[in-house]
Amino acid sequence: MKRPAPREPRPVEHLDVSTASGRTYLNQSGAGNPDAILLLHGSGPGASAWSNWRLLLPVLGDTFRCLAPDFVGFAASEHPENPPVGASAWLDLWVRQITDFLDALGLERVHLVGNSLGGAIALHLASRHPRRFKRIALMGSVGVPFTMNPKLDAIWGFYTNPSVEKMREMIGWFAYRPETFSEDLGTIARMRYDAAMDAKVRCSYQTMFPAPRQRHVDACVLPDDALERIEHPCLLIHGRDDLIVPLETSLYLLQKLPDVRLHVFGQCSHWTQIEYADEFERLLRDFFLEETRR
């Protein structure tokens, strides 16, 4: 398959979008492009759409309209005054937020990318609202049965004893080679810690994953029969050495999703989009461009 020559990186704009379910903060590139990709971020403390997708947005925006919203309860999006408790209730809120967000932008169908917890939300969106989505890419996704490991438990339990040092240790788990980060690990940890300690962010996050936390992994699971009914073309991307969400989750999805392929990066942990940024971008670009050639 011959790939078109990439154009110049596109600037990223940041704006608020008012929806039926509240205010959503959006990072957007390639606003003039007709084909849209919705990018859903993960669940680490202090996480945001920008922290997950800052390397991808400018380059993929040369071809697609790239939409990276903060989930309600994260970063700069709205924080409920009386937040729900537990991942199950939050999951319903996030699914409603995203469908309202697409309605507010007048988008009937988009491609979908989900990272980690965002992968589970992508699966639930595809199951509940299948006509809203074209192709789906999932990276290090939850949403299937697995036993929570101590590192994910520590990430979701960050506020038990929060500190910059703890944040630095956790950020190091996300990469097989932490030196691949474009910034110093200590700088990233300080930025994420400051974001996590915002009063509204902390209040929301502490209601999402209270102990015991295995129940929140289980709440994200989409039943096998629902997975088997997802007919969208799906691309799974996973780091072989993922310390947060094991490769077995993608192997499980490989067995259950009907139209699916899997790409595994060796010597890679949870942040494939950062450790293998160029290859990750090419995988997504080629996968989504297939739709235009059908």
Active site members: 116, 242, 270
Report the alpha-carbon angle 112-115-120, nearest 5.
75
Under DSSP, the state recorded for 178 is: G
Contact of 102 with 111, CB cutoff 8 Å:
no
Contact of 115 with 140, CB cutoff 8 Å:
yes
If we measure between CA atoms, which residue out of 234, 245, 231, 221 comes closest to residue 91? 221
Contact of 204 with 73, CB cutoff 8 Å:
yes
Question: Rounded distance, CA 116 to CA 114, Å?
Answer: 7
SS3 265: strand
- Phi, psi dihedrals of residue 204, rounded to the nearest 5°: -65, -50
If we measure between CA atoms, which residue out of 244, 252, 215 comes closest to residue 85? 215
Question: Rounded distance, CA 57 to CA 41, Å?
Answer: 13
Give the helix, strand, coil percentages of the chain, each rounded to 5: 45, 15, 40
